[in-house]
């Protein structure tokens, strides 16, 4: 019986590529579903996110250490998911196709002590004739919990093709409550092998090596029309011309691991923020719904669109007590990166990250101003003041502006609520990528949840601070990818963007 299943599986995997060649365009299409967004899932996801803690553990392959940690994203924020199957005969799983990580993992039948596993489909290796257990113990670390399991190999079916001898992780422990309410069983990583936990071969790599795709390209079309049931399509092996308008503009991948590239200036309305004039690192991440950026810039955005942040008495105290000094140092020509150390607020000539964890700014109301908090608040104030100086504003106007920005610092959980009736007054925001502006309108970067009187509008921006040399870092999630069709060109190591159809 087992041999018969094995022969059948191998025959199917051999036949399907030839069937694809006979298709009209030779593209492998994965239909994706979407689920409604709600405030509670956003809060839960952000608290569980690796990004909340600024990726304190550097991903494997990107540092000099021996850490083996995958970069994880706000999976619960992700609205788009699809189905794959593993084994012979196939066992079906719902997964998030995530360009921000590189492993394939699903719950295992051996996961018996984690309640989250009982709410999702579990893989049974004994039921598959093509299954091989590798057995290496692996762990994926989160900001507040972890997932652990062991490595295995089996046939993985994606759409209409079979990937043979595919590495994946069988999860035996899900240590985070967030996974109990997750709408997905597992994660299908589409990042580079450099950040794969256990150095396991990503599915996409095997698709290429086994000749299952016509081109070394995959592309995302995310449907942002709330009324449509269709969530979008992930296309392996090329692009669908019906998914975009005009031509794609390409930028090179600058660092293999994430799909990372260099981004230029960020604009609110038609006004430069000045924060990324010298360039910022950015990644395109299908595993998170929102747009994440440095706290200093996200605060300016939330102020410009009327977002309600958490009042930071520390920030206002800094403006009151040290605002004049910071102004005088900037006006006198002191380099912005050295202003805070010159003022005695940072005790290092090396620039610290701007709020490496925003909780240190807004979450210690009873602790007073520690040295680290003063330094972080000062660095944010310098960014804001420098931007206003370019516009020749007076000192009084600048200090008043910075004081108001303090009120818009994102809360520790990151959410910023917007008045839904003010969308028509909000500015556009634009990213400079490859010397081209990619603009989002308020209707595109504000997320709505609920209906009628219960409708809530949420800022599509959340704060993320990563220290140099990795940061500053922007994460362009589904809010961006829904507006701009994105091509992940593995063969030429580049990313392409065009307006979605």
Q: Which residues are catalytic?
A: 98, 285
User: Residues in the chain, how many?
Assistant: 501
Sheet holding 429-433, edge to edge: 271-272, 266-268, 429-433, 436-440
Contact criterion met (CB below 8 Å) for 145 and 175: yes
CA distances from 389 to 10, 265, 336, 460 (A): 67, 17, 12, 28
CA distance linking residue 429 with residue 416, whole number of Å: 16
Phi-psi category of residue 352: left, alpha or beta, with phi > 0 → left and psi -120 to 50 → alpha: beta
For 496, the 3-state DSSP assignment is strand
Contact criterion met (CB below 8 Å) for 483 and 463: no
SS (H, E, C) 455-473: CEEEECEEECCCCCCCCCE
CA distance linking residue 225 with residue 222, whole number of Å: 9
Q: Which residue stretches of 268-394 are H helix? A: 295-304, 313-331, 336-342, 359-362, 371-390
Contact criterion met (CB below 8 Å) for 302 and 408: yes
Angle of the 395-406 helix axis to the 295-304 helix axis, nearest 10: 100
């Amino acid at each position: 019986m087992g041999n018969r299943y094995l022969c059948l599986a191998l025959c199917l995997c051999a036949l399907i590529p030839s069937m694809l060649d006979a298709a009209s365009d030779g593209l492998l299409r994965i239909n994706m579903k979407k689920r409604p967004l709600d405030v509670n899932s956003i809060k839960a996801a952000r608290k569980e996110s690796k990004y909340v803690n600024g990726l304190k553990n550097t991903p494997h392959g990107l540092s000099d250490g021996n850490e083996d940690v995958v970069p994880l994203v706000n999976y619960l924020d992700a609205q788009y998911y699809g189905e794959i199957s593993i084994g012979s005969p196939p066992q079906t799983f719902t997964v998030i196709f995530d360009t921000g990580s590189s492993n394939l993992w699903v719950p295992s039948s051996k996961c018996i002590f984690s309640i989250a596993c009982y709410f999702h489909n579990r893989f049974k290796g004994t039921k598959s004739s093509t299954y091989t257990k590798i057995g290496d113990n692996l762990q994926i670390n989160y900001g507040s919990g972890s997932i652990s399991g062991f490595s295995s190999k089996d046939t993985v079916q994606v759409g209409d093709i079979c990937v043979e001898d595919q590495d994946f992780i069988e999860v035996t422990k899900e240590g985070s409550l967030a996974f109990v309410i997750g709408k997905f069983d597992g994660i299908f990583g589409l990042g580079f092998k450099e950040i794969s936990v256990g150095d396991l071969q990503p599915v996409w790599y095997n698709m290429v090596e086994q000749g299952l795709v016509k081109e070394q390209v995959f592309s995302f079309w995310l449907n942002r029309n709330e009324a449509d049931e269709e969530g979008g399509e992930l296309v392996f092996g090329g692009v669908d011309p019906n998914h975009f308008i005009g031509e794609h503009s390409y930028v090179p991948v600058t660092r293999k691991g994430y799909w990372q590239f260099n981004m230029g200036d960020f604009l609110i309305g038609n006004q430069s923020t000045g924060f990324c004039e010298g360039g910022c690192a950015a990644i395109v991440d299908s595993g998170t719904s929102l747009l994440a950026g440095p706290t200093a810039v996200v605060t300016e955005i939330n102020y410009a669109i009327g977002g309600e942040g958490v009042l930071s008495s520390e920030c206002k105290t800094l403006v009151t007590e040290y605002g004049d000094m910071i102004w005088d140092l900037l006006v006198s020509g002191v380099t912005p990166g050295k202003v805070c150390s010159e003022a005695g607020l940072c005790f290092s000539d090396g620039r610290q990250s701007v709020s490496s964890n925003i909780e240190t700014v807004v979450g210690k109301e009873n602790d007073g101003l520690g040295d680290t908090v003063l330094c972080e608040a000062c660095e944010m104030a310098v960014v804001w003041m420098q931007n206003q100086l370019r516009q020749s504003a007076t000192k009084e106007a600048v200090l008043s502006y910075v004081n108001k920005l303090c009120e818009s610092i994102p809360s520790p959980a990151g959410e910023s609520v917007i008045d839904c009736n003010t969308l028509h007054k909000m500015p556009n925001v634009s990213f400079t990528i490859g010397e081209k502006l990619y603009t989002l309108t308020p209707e595109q970067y504000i997320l709505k949840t609920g209906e009628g009187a219960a409708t809530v509008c949420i800022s599509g921006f959340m704060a993320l601070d990563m220290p140099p040399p990795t940061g500053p870092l922007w994460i362009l999630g589904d809010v961006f990818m829904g507006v701009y069709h994105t091509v992940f060109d593995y063969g030429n190591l580049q990313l392409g963007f065009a307006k979605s159809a």
